[in-house]
Structure 1
Amino acid sequence: MISSENPSAENLNEKEPVKIILAEDDKDDQELFIDALDEADIPSDVTTVENGQQLVDALKDKSQPDPDIIFIDINMPVKGGKQALEEIKGDKDLRDIPAVMLSTWDHPADIEDTFDKGANLYVQKPNSFAGFVLLLKKVFLLHWAKALLRPVISLFFVSEKNISQRD
């Protein structure tokens, strides 16, 4: 497990950093995510895990506070993202933690399956760093209240293609 702080000096005085657990087996994608949060000026404290089992174990570890949000890659070894999501949303102590699914794919069956399993948002991984920054801004600044607190299918799937700089 890697813990990385991503402070933004101006905003830290105003807001507590968002506590995030990122379940992602690809080290490059972990770094991209953390760098994009920094570029998006989202004060955060990110803990990374490399598979769904490590995610579930970290969430059940009561010596650590619950995160504000979890990002879960769908395709991981040991326990995949969908399995981890199902276990988390089936646990009365964990089910209220907002869960954002990450995938390179935009298969309608995957999107619908994760929605049905209780995910709060499904994000297609962008092809560019700028796209990732824009996407994270959208997730944290615009979709937080609407999509994460009461998900509706029309706001559930977010990709680089369906957001614009103006949003």
Structure 2
Amino acid sequence: MSTTPLKIVLVDDDEDDRLFFADALQEIDIATELTEFHNGQELLDCLHASDTAAYPHLIFLDLNMPVMDGFECLREIRKNPELKDLVVAIYSTSSSEKDIEETFVHGANIYINKPNRFEELKKTIGQVVRRNWHYHENETDKANFLFRI
């Protein structure tokens, strides 16, 4: 992987989850630059104020947040021509088939259940960050959409 940091965004209203994620991300062997937001509206405001060169390479998006939840944020990203190709990983405690299906239908690239243990989280983040994210060239199917450990 190149020495240019991979720009990663985490959108999550839970401070403990953000700290846990940031700690795990620091322990993987890939140069990253993490930006955090507390809700979907903060993320969208930042994206609308940025040029395309500043867009993140990967967004980890929680579903249950105040102001604008992950479902609404995902829909807004996918309907905006400038943002629609951003890579969005749903990152949620929910294992509801309804939530998984809804985010798949609305264009999320992958669905991850938040691991409870640090080692699992580090492994999951490492795998997702390393994964080939060329969904524009390859069709996504539900088998590789739901990320299970």
TM-score by length of 1: 0.82
Q: How many angstroms apart in 1 are the aligned matches of 2:46 and 2:131?
A: 28
Question: Aligned-pair RMSD on alpha carbons?
Answer: 2.0
Q: How many angstroms apart in 1 are the aligned matches of 2:129 and 2:113?
A: 15
After superposition, the Cα gap between the structure-2 partners of 1:158 and 1:80, relative to the gap in structure 1 and judged at 3 Å, is same
1:152 to 134, 137, 141: 141
- Deviation for aligned residue 1:48: 0.5
After superposition, the Cα gap between the structure-2 partners of 1:133 and 1:149, relative to the gap in structure 1 and judged at 3 Å, is farther
| 2:46 is the counterpart of 1:70 | no
| Residue identity opposite 1:131 in structure 2 | E
| 2:105 is the counterpart of 1:104 | no
- Deviation for aligned residue 1:146: 6.6
Q: How many angstroms apart in 1 are the aligned matches of 2:133 and 2:103?
A: 18
TM-score by length of 2: 0.91
Contact 2:11/2:37 (<8 A) preserved: yes
Q: For residue 48 of structure 1, what is the aligned residue in structure 2?
A: 36
2:9 to 21, 24, 28: 21
Residue identity over aligned pairs, in percent, reads 37
Q: Which runs of 4+ in 1 moved over 4 A?
A: 145-149
Task: Give the number of equivalent residue pairs.
Answer: 148
- Deviation for aligned residue 1:138: 1.4
Contact 2:91/2:112 (<8 A) preserved: yes
**Gap runs ≥5 in structure 1:** 1-10
- Deviation for aligned residue 1:143: 5.0
**Gap runs ≥5 in structure 2:** none
| 2:69 is the counterpart of 1:80 | yes
CA deviations 1:21-65 (Å, max 9, x no partner) are: 111101111111111111122211111010111011111112571
- Deviation for aligned residue 1:150: 3.8
